[in-house]
Amino acid sequence: MLMIANWKMNMTRGEIATYLDSLSGEDRWKIWRDRGIRLFLCPPYPYLDYLGGQCRSRNLPIGIMAQNMCAFEKGAYTGEVSAAMLKDLAVDGVLLGHSERRLYFGETDGAIAEKAARALSSALVPVVCFGETRQERDLGQCAAVWSRQVGPVWERVTKCREEGVRTPVYWAYEPVWAIGTGRTADLGDIREVASHLRKTFGEDCASGLLYGGSVNDESVSGLYEKGTVHGFLVGGAFLEAETVLRVFDRLFGHP
Ligand code: PEP
């Protein structure tokens, strides 16, 4: 299980230290990690190094992911951050194709596929976000949207596998209408996505499905199903360390 906190453009060094102070009060992190349950924090770029160092010095077995990455290897790309730089900072993975990146920064399905290929070949775990808008749902276009967004990435994943690259890939189903709105999809919707991925791209593709969109400590239990949901991507609710702890407690209980 992957539990991922997308902090978006939030948090400062002081707030990060306070957040980690709260997480450090919990003594079950190593037990959870040994059971395959991992928490990953995705801070803004400037704090990747600081956060990683803080987690290591506090012996917190918590992973770090970036919120984005450049598809190009290196060179004259002002303002961009490469896969090699993320690896250099001991970052574990990277969110790709978040709907805010698609909407505000014009990221296309093709560009996201390029980034995913770069991440895979750099041994950075890509977490590829996809999901329909409210309007696309109302027009009955969900399946077409999922295929359009996942297809080009899956093609690159398949090619990387043929070349011997074994880095895992995860898919975060994040319906745009559920992000930051307080409305979630339901388990039936998530099962439909899993079944679509399985039928269209094969069993392998559906085996790393996460859900994101207004998950919190109230909604999380009803959105989880073993074998279907392999983790959650959480924005607003995971800006509070206390909510992270409540969600872990609710889902994974006392080992
Ligand atoms: C997100 O932005 O990835 C997200 C899931 O946000 P929220 O949990 O706030 O809906």
- Centre of ligand 1 to C-alpha 127, Å, is 14
With a 6 Å cutoff on the Cβ, whether 174 touches ligand 1 is: yes
Output the pTM of the full model. 0.97
The residues, ordered by sequence, that sit 6+ positions from 228 with a Cβ below 8 Å of its Cβ are 187, 190, 191, 194, 209
- Centre of ligand 1 to C-alpha 91, Å, is 21
Q: What are φ and ψ of residue 30, in 5° steps?
A: -70, -35
Tokens in use for 130?
A: 């996809």
With a 6 Å cutoff on the Cβ, whether 212 touches ligand 1 is: yes
- Centre of ligand 1 to C-alpha 175, Å, is 10
pLDDT digits (tens, 9 = 90+) for 181-209: 999 999 999 999 999 999 999 999 999 99
- Centre of ligand 1 to C-alpha 69, Å, is 19
Q: What are φ and ψ of residue 122, in 5° steps?
A: -100, 10
Q: pLDDT at residue 145 above 60? A: yes
| Mean pLDDT of all residues belonging to the chain | 97
Query: How far is C-alpha 75 from the chain's CA centre?
Result: 27
Give, for ligand 1, the residue of 234, 240, 243 to mutate: max count of ligand atoms closer than 8 Å to Cβ.
Answer: 234
**Residue-level pLDDT at 213:** 98
Q: Between the CA of residue 59 and those of 25, 55, 70, 154, what are the distances in Å?
A: 12, 6, 30, 36
Q: Percentage of residues in the chain with pLDDT exceeding 70?
A: 99
- Centre of ligand 1 to C-alpha 12, Å, is 19
Domain spans in the chain, listed from the N-terminal domain onward = 2-252
Catalytic residues, by residue number, are 98, 174
Give, for ligand 1, the residue of 173, 177, 179 to mutate: max count of ligand atoms closer than 8 Å to Cβ.
Answer: 179
Q: Percentage of residues in the chain with pLDDT exceeding 90?
A: 98
Instruction: Return the residue matching tokens 């399946």.
Output: 143
- Rounded to an integer, the average pLDDT of 151-167 is 96
**Residue-level pLDDT at 255:** 54
With a 6 Å cutoff on the Cβ, whether 152 touches ligand 1 is: no
Q: pLDDT grade, residue 254 (50/70/90)?
A: low
pLDDT digits (tens, 9 = 90+) for 41-77: 999 999 999 999 999 999 999 999 999 999 999 999 9
Q: What are φ and ψ of residue 64, in 5° steps?
A: -125, 135
With a 6 Å cutoff on the Cβ, whether 131 touches ligand 1 is: no
Atom of ligand 1 nearest to the CA of 8: 2
Task: For residue 88, count CB atoms less than 10 angstroms from its CB and return exposed for 0-12, middle for 13-18, buried for 19 or more.
Answer: exposed
d(CA 31, CA 229): 21
Which residues, in sequence order, are bridge partners of residue 5?
A: 41, 234
CB 135 within 8 A of CB 92: no
pLDDT digits (tens, 9 = 90+) for 79-89: 999 999 999 99
With a 6 Å cutoff on the Cβ, whether 43 touches ligand 1 is: no
**Residue-level pLDDT at 192:** 98
Tokens in use for 179?
A: 């992000």
**Residue-level pLDDT at 253:** 83
Q: Which CATH superfamily hosts domain 2-252?
A: Aldolase class I (3.20.20.70)
